[in-house]
Amino acid sequence: MGGLLGVVGSSTRDDASPRFRSASEKMMQRHCRMTSAIEAMDGSWKFGEFQSVRLSGQDVTRIRVSEPCVLFHGVLHNGADLLRVVDGGASSVISGTSELLGKLYAKYEERFVEHLHGEFCVVIIDPTKRRVIIASDAIGSHPLYWRHGREGFGFSSDLSATLFAGRSARRLDLRAVADYLTLGSLLGSRTLVQDVSLLPPGTLLEYDASRDSVSLRQYIDVAEFFRNKSNNKERYLESVETEFQNAVTRALNSVQPVGLALSGGLDSRAILSASGTRARGLETYTLGIDGCADQVIAERLARIAGTKHRFFCLNEEYLRDFLPNMSRMVSMTDGMYVSHGLTEMLALQFLEETGIEVLLRGHGGELAKARLAWPLHTDETVYGLSSLGELATYMGERANYITRGLSFGEILVPDAARISDGGSSSSFLELLAHTELTPAEGCSYLYLRELTRRFTIPSIDLFRTAVGVRLPYLDREFLKVLLAAPSEWRDGTEIHQRLIASGIPGLAKVRNSNTGAAADASPKVEYVLDKFNSLFKRLNVRGFRHYHNFDAWMRTMLLQSVESELLANSARTQGFMRTSALKELIENTRNGSDDRGYLLQVLLILELWQRENDVNA
């Protein structure tokens, strides 16, 4: 995964050095190594850039600075344009992205970030003005966690590293836990620890060392993408098609071997189609149990497109190492990711067998078919709501798949239940408070701004430990075009059908694993075939099976691990969870009277992460 790390000491060199060293050790536990190290002349500021072990070189660049310099992590799409901006057409030689952005900062100061287009996080170290600037891209695709207090200022791409950069007590943020126990992800800027925040998307943070103060400024707001609506649907669809092609082209722009995670659905298929003739240079792969729908469909898609394709089979062996795999996943995602199949850790092993170094994934495609953007999807009720306040209440109830039907008073100790404040409904209301969106737009806004960076990005960070990852659907320029239309125009699968048919038309004739109908089928045909598809999937018919055995490991290894870890006398989750309620949840899940597998998984994740990082409730 890698990322950025910085520690600004409160007073002396001895303060910063040990904190930076402790934080660096945590960073390197994520299969990465430090590639650049920057230190202020007096040693009171220390910064580092880290890259995946698989992708990084051998040498570490170490420098002491007295002038402004830059650390950049991610991918920059408009480097050539920025070069023309900073050199005015001259033939000056610029050695890399960091030097380019340094010149951009010299020209525009803190407004330099407004000119960047890509997937990134960035830090400016400016000893001359005694300030540090950190920034995220429009959707927060590379997270930065930060903390400011008596010990000074620290930040990192890794929450655990941010904690180990300080020595103050680590207390669980129970308000964040409440969101976790409803939506299955955190919301806003909260993290699992009090006093540690996640930098919001499209935001610049400035730490002024002279004043020991922090200020934040949002330089781009994805709510703005919903404005300037198109009033001509055909021209809108043409623009979406063109800009998606541009987004995929940008994602394919790499000197490293590029691959695509290919499923039987529509999102990755549209990326494959937009690859056009370049698809023959792609390495695609699919992962699942033998005979699953994704296996059969992806192999056919790959033959049509001419990719080099591999299928990685999941067998029962991946259940045996459940707890070690779960522990590793928890550590690598900062305890903030709920798996829907625990296949990610196996995917990492398989990826090492490929030559892929840059992986394209279809996350974010749900924004082009909003009624399928579970659990924040649109429906008839959403279109009937009259305010964002009503949407917050409705989503807080409907999107709760973790503790649905349970009150916090039933399962949490009294103080924790009081702090929980009703779960995600109040968080949704806070996040929507200053926007001017319709309820349907509010669904997509929450999905893009919150679920993408608080659920999708942690899962992507798992893959970033082995490969670079690019997400064409979340390309900023594509989103500006996609979202600037009435919500109804991107509610169904019409956009995907168009994207798939435009590049490699044959892909549209292959069935969709989610419905059983061809990708270009009409809604009526989809409706009929979906009934048969669901039946065959339930009967475990070969070619229609689901890609993983979630229920199998949930009812065996998960329950065993929950009992051994959460019912132990030393369990930290007992600081907020009623033991009697936990025992009842386990028993009801085992006998099938009330399936609480996801709730038990969240609690196990919290237990493992609290223990690893010495965090108490």
Give pLDDT, residue 555.
65
**Cβ–Cβ contacts within 10 Å for residue 324, how many?**
10
Give pLDDT, residue 491.
96
Nearest one of 216, 282, 210, 289 to 251, comparing CA atoms = 282
Is residue 61 predicted with pLDDT exceeding 80? Answer: no
Is residue 55 predicted with pLDDT exceeding 70? Answer: no
Distance of CA 588 to the CA centre of its chain: 32
Cis geometry, peptide bond prior to residue 375 (ω within 30 degrees of 0): yes
Give pLDDT, residue 1.
76
Give pLDDT, residue 245.
97
Is residue 596 predicted with pLDDT exceeding 60? Answer: yes
Q: What is the identity of the amino acid at 441?
A: E
Give the strand order in the sheet containing 197-198: 61-65, 32-40, 45-52, 3-9, 152-156, 145-149, 197-198
Give pLDDT, residue 94.
66
Report how far residue 237's alpha carbon sits from residue 234's, in angstroms, rounded to the nearest whole number: 5
Give pLDDT, residue 282.
95
Is residue 609 predicted with pLDDT exceeding 70? Answer: yes
Is residue 238 predicted with pLDDT exceeding 80? Answer: yes
HSE toward the beta carbon, residue 543, CA cutoff 13 A: 5
b (16+ CB within 10 A) / e for 214-232: eeeeebbbbbebbeeebee
Per-residue pLDDT tens over the stretch 241-286 = 999 999 999 999 988 899 999 999 999 999 999 999 999 999 999 9
Report how far residue 503's alpha carbon sits from residue 270's, in angstroms, rounded to the nearest whole number: 8
Give pLDDT, residue 91.
52
> Which residues have C-beta within 8 Å of that of residue 19, sequence separation ≥ 6?
7, 9, 151, 154, 164, 165, 166, 167
Q: What is the identity of the amino acid at 36?
A: S
Report how far residue 437's alpha carbon sits from residue 38's, in angstroms, rounded to the nearest whole number: 43
Is residue 90 predicted with pLDDT exceeding 60? Answer: no
Residues 198 and 190 sit within 8 Å (Cβ to Cβ): yes
CA angle 218, 219, 222 (to 5 degrees): 85
pTM equals: 0.94
Report how far residue 13's alpha carbon sits from residue 15's, in angstroms, rounded to the nearest whole number: 5
Per-residue pLDDT tens over the stretch 193-209 = 999 999 999 999 999 99
Per-residue pLDDT tens over the stretch 367-391 = 999 999 999 999 999 999 999 999 9
Greatest Cα pair distance in the chain? 73
Report how far residue 461's alpha carbon sits from residue 337's, in angstroms, rounded to the nearest whole number: 10
Once rounded to an integer, what is the mean pLDDT over residues 385-398? 96
The percent helix, strand, coil of the chain (3-state, each to 5) is 50, 20, 35
Give pLDDT, residue 93.
59
Report how far residue 162's alpha carbon sits from residue 23's, in angstroms, rounded to the nearest whole number: 7
Please give the C-alpha separations between residue 45 and each of 17, 41, 110, 263, in angstroms, as whole numbers.
8, 8, 19, 46
Mean pLDDT score of the chain, rounded to an integer?
Answer: 91
Once rounded to an integer, what is the mean pLDDT over residues 330-334? 93
Is residue 225 predicted with pLDDT exceeding 90? Answer: yes
> Which residues have C-beta within 8 Å of that of residue 584, sequence separation ≥ 6?
none
Burial class (CB in 10 A: 0-12, 13-18, 19+), 100: buried
Give pLDDT, residue 151.
83
Is residue 316 predicted with pLDDT exceeding 80? Answer: no
Once rounded to an integer, what is the mean pLDDT over residues 523-541? 93
Report how far residue 158's alpha carbon sits from residue 119's, in angstroms, rounded to the nearest whole number: 17
Give pLDDT, residue 533.
93
Report how far residue 587's alpha carbon sits from residue 174's, in angstroms, rounded to the nearest whole number: 25
Is residue 9 predicted with pLDDT exceeding 90? Answer: no
Please give the C-alpha separations between residue 208 and each of 215, 312, 345, in angstroms, as whole numbers.
8, 50, 41
- Percentage above 90 pLDDT, the chain: 75
Once rounded to an integer, what is the mean pLDDT over residues 47-75? 81
Once rounded to an integer, what is the mean pLDDT over residues 207-229? 95
Once rounded to an integer, what is the mean pLDDT over residues 162-179? 91
Residues 604 and 339 sit within 8 Å (Cβ to Cβ): no
Give pLDDT, residue 556.
72
Q: Which two tokens stand for residue 23?
A: 């934080």
Nearest one of 319, 402, 320 to 602, comparing CA atoms = 402
Is residue 552 predicted with pLDDT exceeding 70? Answer: no
Is residue 335 predicted with pLDDT exceeding 90? Answer: yes
CA angle 161, 166, 167 (to 5 degrees): 125
